[in-house]
Amino acid sequence: MSGQWGKKVKYSIFGESHGRGIGITIDGLPPGIKLDMDFINGEMQRRAPGRDEFSTKRKEGDKVEILSGYFNGYTTGAPLCGVIFNENQNSKDYDKLKNLARPGHADFTGKVKYSGFNDYRGGGHFSGRITAPLVFAGAVAKQILFDKGIVIGSHILSIGNVFDSYFDGVNLKIQTLADVLRKDFPVLDDLKGKEMKNIILKAKEETDSVGGIIEGSILNLPCGLGEPFFDSLESNLAQLLFSVPAVKGVEFGMGFEITKIRGSKANDVPFVYEEKVLTKTNNNGGINGGISNGMPVIFRVAMKPTPSIAKTQNTIDMATGENSEISVIGRHDPCIVLRALPVIEACAAMSILDFI
């Protein structure tokens, strides 16, 4: 299993959904960084389950207990280890499902790869619950970046076929990110947000689920970050984003839409100088040649519908090899997008911190 990531700052993640706890160790942080625990706890609560009717009823406080690398309010320079103890597991929900491969999950692939020794309860190490330690690491990274003027934010761009407004890739302001962050349902257009809520509740009522798109941004990133070829800004960030369960697509700037226009429109011209070099458009999402160009970095991730649904589906019994049916009982999100926003932002912060 590959539970480590990073070059200058190294992250090592551990735990299973229904195990004793989950957590992450961060190695490479300098001593003397003051950690705002209120901010960290606030980020954890953005992702925590059981907050509202749009998420799973599993209630977890997601309180981080720092075991090492932190003393008297500051990092010590030793590896910073944070753990979140699981408190509300219903492992019995999975007793009847342990031999049935849940569609859309890693039950079958995990059983094959790890010879059946993997913890199947709640998805084990493949569970979306393992993203909670990422949020802790991201909250630490965000604080360091914020002290350098770098701000990261996101919003729900779409749920199903309903779309919010897009970020202004040229003139996006920190205040816009702050305004969205204060909302319980983080969209730019609240009317569109209401439509999205209705789509989620309808799917929930029908024992189904829906997916969506998260649009993220990184503001005030200096020009020159990125190590082409194989560690470009895009490839580095995309690797972390694709490690998040349920992410099925990543794009930067106009993404796939840029294929529909000519080069004369796709190129971000003209270059202008207004205290620093800027462009009048930002079709490439603030990145040229895998290197930040000083414009806002704009990216989007596609989140698939939650695979755990109560609707009856066809599957196989992995013990007998026979065809079977499954209805996934338990507590599951009808839409994972809302709780995934701080996870996506955390990935961006972790990536940028490694470059910084």
Is 32 annotated in a binding site? The answer is: no
Is 185 annotated in a binding site? The answer is: no
DSSP 246: T
CA torsion angle 284 282 340 157 (round to 10): -120
Q: Around Cβ 105, how many Cβ atoms within 10 Å?
A: 19
Is 186 annotated in a binding site? The answer is: no
Alpha carbon distance 163, 203 (integer Å):
17
Q: Around Cβ 225, how many Cβ atoms within 10 Å?
A: 23
CA 354 to chain centre: 17
Is 68 annotated in a binding site? The answer is: no
Alpha carbon distance 50, 241 (integer Å):
24
Is 105 annotated in a binding site? The answer is: no
Is 47 annotated in a binding site? The answer is: yes
The position carrying tokens 């701000």 is 151
Do the beta carbons of residue 105 and residue 123 sit within 8 Å?
yes
Is 176 annotated in a binding site? The answer is: no
Is 271 annotated in a binding site? The answer is: no
Residues contacting residue 190 through CB under 8 Å, at least 6 positions apart: 183
The answer, yes or no, to whether the previous bond of 270 is cis (omega within 30 of 0) is yes
Do the beta carbons of residue 210 and residue 160 sit within 8 Å?
yes
Residue type, 145: L
Is 320 annotated in a binding site? The answer is: no
Is 296 annotated in a binding site? The answer is: no
Alpha carbon distance 123, 76 (integer Å):
35
Is 91 annotated in a binding site? The answer is: no
Detail the residues annotated as belonging to a binding site for FMN: 125-127, 289, 304-308, 331
Residues annotated within the binding site are 47, 125-127, 289, 304-308, 331
Feature table: binding site for NADP(+): 47
